[in-house]
Amino acid sequence: MVDHYDKQVVLITGCSTGGIGHALARAFAAQNCLVVATARSLASISDLENDPRFFLQELDVLSDQIVHRVVSNVLEKFGRIDVVVNNAGVQCIGPLAEVPLSSIERTFNTNVFGSLRLIQAVVPHMISRKKGKIVNVGSVTALGPGPWAGAYTSSKAALHALTDTLRLELQPFGIEVITVVPGAVKSNIGNSAIGSYSQMPEWKLYKQFEEAIRARAYFSQGQKATRAEEFAQKTVNHVLKKNPPAWFSAGQYSTIMAIMYHLPLSIKDFILRRAMKC
């Protein structure tokens, strides 16, 4: 076991280059943390390989066995896990009436059950130390669910609800739980969304909306989208506070969507129909 008692050990999922997780890994490392950067493929985080601030692990959040193995590896190396950031997630674009159920299941398996799988693996350790922080990365889309991304949005809404419950249930054990809610942040999510979208069946009922549906994949990646590095730095500053906020949101559209959440449904629907050409 290596002694690094002056530094916090932070485990982050979904750290592939070009994504929010990668920016978070670098931002935590810049704040003197030891970062366990994970991804489904080590090749996607190879730029962190020779930096002693990072401990790289291959992690598929869909596998119980792999999740438990990674947690064991980290505890063996550092003796503790101070912060867990559930960032791994997948998009799913298409109208809910026609998206294959297998695609919706994969979205929930990754975005919801993947997060819960890691939480259940790490919580016994955190309870034994009576301290720890769990950070779940949600989405502002859950505050104003619109057309064409219903599977993704509902999975993030489920994660928000789970996080609220966990915050209450884990508080007696000294564990702090934080919902981080990105707005539109520059990342590779647009490319991965269009990649999975290209494997969708041809729409029968929604053929006339094809252009609008495809455009939804890139909606968060416009010119004014917040830089991932800027979002990550703000997030890390909040997470590492002695008493971190239970909810933190940043990025383009974060303020607008917070307002949208409180609007009457008829107004919210009108705005979202216009924005998404539905």
Tell me the C-alpha distance between 106 and 101, whole Å: 9
| Residue 191 half-sphere exposure toward CB, CA atoms < 13 A | 7
Token pair 């509902």: residue: 154
Tell me the C-alpha distance between 272 and 260, whole Å: 10
- Assess contact for 11 and 122: CB atoms under 8 A: yes
Distances (CA, A) of 125 to 64, 75, 122, 132, 251: 16, 9, 6, 9, 33
Q: Which of 156, 197, 253, 268 is catalytic?
A: 156
Task: Give the three-class secondary structure for 239.
Answer: helix
Q: Which of 152, 186, 197, 268 is catalytic?
A: 152
Q: Which two tokens stand for residue 138?
A: 């949600």
Q: Which two tokens stand for residue 182?
A: 């990105």
* Catalytic site includes residue 204: no
DSSP 34-76: EEEEEES-GGGGGGGTT-TTEEEEE--TT-HHHHHHHHHHHHH
Q: Which two tokens stand for residue 30?
A: 């810049």
Tell me the C-alpha distance between 138 and 158, whole Å: 9
* Catalytic site includes residue 152: yes
Mind telling me the catalytic residues? 152, 156
